[in-house]
Structure 1
Amino acid sequence: MLHEKAPAKINLTLDVLGKRPDGYHEVEMIMTTVDLADRLSIAPAKDGKIRILSSDRYVPDDKRNLVWQAAELIRKKYGITSGVTFTLEKRIPVAAGLAGGSSDAAAALRGLNRLWGLGLSLGELAEIGADIGSDIPFCVHGGTSLATGRGEKLRHLPPPPNCWVILAKPDIGVSTADVYGRLDLKRMRHPDTPAMEAALRASDYEAMCRSVGNVLEPVTMDMHPEVAMLKNGMKRFGADTVLMSGSGPTVYGLVSSEARVPRIVNGLRGFCPEVHAVRMLGDGLPLD
C-alpha cells in the first residue's frame, strides 16, 4: 500500500481576465499550499475495479469523485486493467474553495504513477490532470505558483514569508459555476498580481498582506452574507489580512504573531463550525 499527502491550497490572488471561446474563464492567480491535508492510501485490487473508501460521508465514491476520474483516465491512457482501492482520510473541508477534491486527484495521479511503475514526470501527470480539473496541475506540484490560462499553465514562484494561516469555513455550500455565472466582467476590481509576485520575491510580509485580492469574493459575499460576516470577524479578532479563497466560502487570515492565533481561533469558533490554524508549506515539488 502506498500513501500520498494531499494539501489544501489558498489563493493569494485570483483575477478573471475574460471569457474564453471554450467556455472557461481566462484566469490569473497566485496559489500556495498550506499544511492542512487529506491522506490518500492506495492499494492494488485484483478484481479490476476502482473503489473509494472515505471517512467523509459527503464524499462520493463513484465516478463523480475526481480521484475515480483520475484513476479511470490513467488506466485508459496506458491500457491498464488492474484495479485499485483508495482510502481517503478527509481533513480539508468539502466544497470549500481549498481545492480538496483537486488535491486528492493529484495525489491519486502521483500514487498511481508509483504503484503501476509508469515513470511519468510531474509535468506529464499535471497534463493528464488538466483534462479533469483546472486546479489539478497546480496540486500535482504544490508549492507556490502563478497560474494562467484556465489555471493549468504554471510558473513557479518563491514561497510566501513564514506566517500562520487561519482557515474558517461557514456551514454553507457554494457552487463555483453559480459564482462565475454571476461575475460581471466589466465591473470587477482586479487584484495587483504583479505586486503580489514582487512581494513573494522580496519575502515582504507586509507587502504580501497589502496585495491579496480575489475578484470572486464580492460575488460570493452577495450570495452568502455569512462570508462577509466571517471576514469582518476575522479582521476584528486581529488577523493581518483576510481574503476568501477560490469561489469560497472559506475565508483565511494571515497572522505573523503566534500569540494572536488562539484569540482569533477561539473568537471564530463561536460562530463558525470549521476553523483551522496551519502554516504555509513553503516550496512544492519541482516543475519539470
Structure 2
Amino acid sequence: MNDSSLRLPAPAKLNLMLRIVGRRPDGYHLLQTVFQFIDLCDWITLTPRQDGVIRRVNPLPGVPEDSDLAVRAARALRDACGNPLLGVDIDLEKNLPMGGGVGGGSSDAATVLLGLNQLWRLHFGLDEIAALGLNLGADVPVFVRGFSAWGEGVGEHLTALPDLPEPWYVVLAPHCQVATGAIFGAPGLTRDNKPITMVEFLRGNEENHCLPVVTERYPLVKEALFNLELVCGGSRLTGTGACVFAVLEYEHDARHAAEQLAAGEWQVFVAKGSNISPLHNRLGIEPG
C-alpha cells in the first residue's frame, strides 16, 4: 500500500426482520425490513491511478471482474464525474460470506463509492452517491447512508433507527450460497403479507417471510437455525440467507456460544451490532 492508498472497511449488515408486502409491475418485491451493521467486514484498499484504468488486483472466485460490484461502482462514479483519466486499483480482502445475506457485494460497492469520492476529490453528497448506488443494487444505499434503518420499497426508502439496541451477535454461515433470485421467484413465497409499523417491530415482530422457502430448499440453513436455537435460545435468518444469527447481550455469552457451535457445517462469527457504519467512522463522515 503506497502513501496515496486508502484502506477501508466494508461492513456486513443483518436484516433484523424482512416482510414481503407486495410486488411491483416490474416484478420487484415490495419489502419492509430493518438493517443494522455489524463489525464483521471485508477490507478494501483503493490506490488511485491517473491512466483511466479501473481494475481488481486480486481474483474473486466465481465473480468475473466486469460483474464485480466494486469494479462497477468505481466505473459508475467515474462516469458520473466525467473524467475518463481517473482510475483505481481495487484490492479486496474478502471476509464476508458470499451468498450469505449480509450484504457483502453491496457493502463493497458502497465502500468504493465513498472512498473514491474522497480519493478523487469529487465532493459528491450522500444523496448523489446513494442514487448511483441504487443503480447497482437495492442494498447499496443503506451502506452509503451509514445508519441503521427501517427500509421500505425494494429496501431503498430508509428511515434512521438510531436508538436500536447494539447487542452481540453469533452469526453462522452455512457452507452453501442462497440464490436470492430463486427465493423471490419461488411459487411458495407469500407476497401479500400485511405491512407493520416500526412500533410493532420494536415490540417484537421480527418475522422473515423468506424463511419457509429458504429452509425447504437449503437443509444446511435449517440445520444451522436448529443448532443456533438449541445453544442460544433463539435464531433468525438475515435477508434470504444463508447466514443465520442469534442475539446475545454480553460478549462472553456470545463467545461461549460460538465455541459450542464451532464443530458444525458452517463458519462461526461473533460480531457487535452498530447503528453507525464502521466505514463512516473510518472516513470521518456523518451518516445521512
Q: State the TM-score, normalized to the length of structure 1.
A: 0.89
Query: Match of 2:156, as an amino acid?
Result: E
Query: Match of 2:259, as an amino acid?
Result: N
Q: What's 2:7 paired with?
A: 3
Residues 222-260 of structure 1 show CA distances to partners (whole Å, capped at 9, x for unaligned) of 101221211111111124x32110111100110113342
Say which SS state the counterpart of residue 269 (structure 1) adopts: coil
Residues 82-108 of structure 1 show CA distances to partners (whole Å, capped at 9, x for unaligned) of 221111111111111000000000000
Query: Match of 1:71, as an amino acid?
Result: A
Q: Does 1:41 align with 2:45?
A: yes
Structure 1 window deviating more from structure 2 (57-66 vs 133-142): it is 57-66
Say which SS state the counterpart of residue 214 (structure 1) adopts: coil
Question: What's the C-alpha RMSD, in Å, of the aligned pairs?
Answer: 2.1
Distance 1:80 1:42 in 2: 18
Distance 1:57 1:144 in 2: 28
Say which SS state the counterpart of residue 151 (structure 2) adopts: strand
Deviation at 1:22, TM superposition (A): 2.2
Deviation at 1:179, TM superposition (A): 0.3
The size of the alignment, in residue pairs, is 276
Say which SS state the counterpart of residue 280 (structure 1) adopts: strand
Distance 1:262 1:148 in 2: 33
Q: What's 2:250 paired with?
A: 257
Distance 1:67 1:25 in 2: 25
Residues 66-91 of structure 1 show CA distances to partners (whole Å, capped at 9, x for unaligned) of 01111111112221212211111111
Q: What's 1:133 paired with?
A: 137
Correspondent of 1:68 among 68, 71, 92: 71
Correspondent of 2:165 among 147, 161, 169: 161
Residues 71 and 109, structure 1, Cα contact 8 Å, conserved in 2: yes
Residues 11 and 39, structure 2, Cα contact 8 Å, conserved in 1: yes
Say which SS state the counterpart of residue 247 (structure 2) adopts: strand
Q: Does 1:244 align with 2:212?
A: no
- Say if 1:263 and 1:188 are closer, same or farther in 2 by CA, change over 3 A: farther
Deviation at 1:137, TM superposition (A): 0.2
Residues 189 and 210, structure 2, Cα contact 8 Å, conserved in 1: no
Gaps of 5+ in 1: 200-206
Residues 78-157 of structure 1 mapped to structure 2, 5 A cutoff: 78-81=81-84, 82-157=86-161
Residues 48-80 of structure 1 show CA distances to partners (whole Å, capped at 9, x for unaligned) of 2111134x7426351110011111111122212
Structure 1 window deviating more from structure 2 (229-238 vs 125-134): it is 229-238
- Say if 1:150 and 1:162 are closer, same or farther in 2 by CA, change over 3 A: closer
Q: Does 1:213 align with 2:212?
A: no
Residues 190 and 215, structure 1, Cα contact 8 Å, conserved in 2: no
Residues 134 and 152, structure 1, Cα contact 8 Å, conserved in 2: yes
- Say if 1:19 and 1:188 are closer, same or farther in 2 by CA, change over 3 A: closer
Say which SS state the counterpart of residue 276 (structure 1) adopts: strand
Residues 97-144 of structure 1 show CA distances to partners (whole Å, capped at 9, x for unaligned) of 000000000000001111111111112111110011000000112331
Distance 2:247 2:195 in 1: 17
Structure 1 window deviating more from structure 2 (258-267 vs 168-177): it is 258-267
Q: What's 1:204 paired with?
A: none
Q: What's 2:222 paired with?
A: 228
Distance 1:63 1:281 in 2: 32
Gaps of 5+ in 2: 281-285
Distance 2:99 2:223 in 1: 19
Distance 2:183 2:65 in 1: 26
- Say if 1:115 and 1:25 are closer, same or farther in 2 by CA, change over 3 A: same
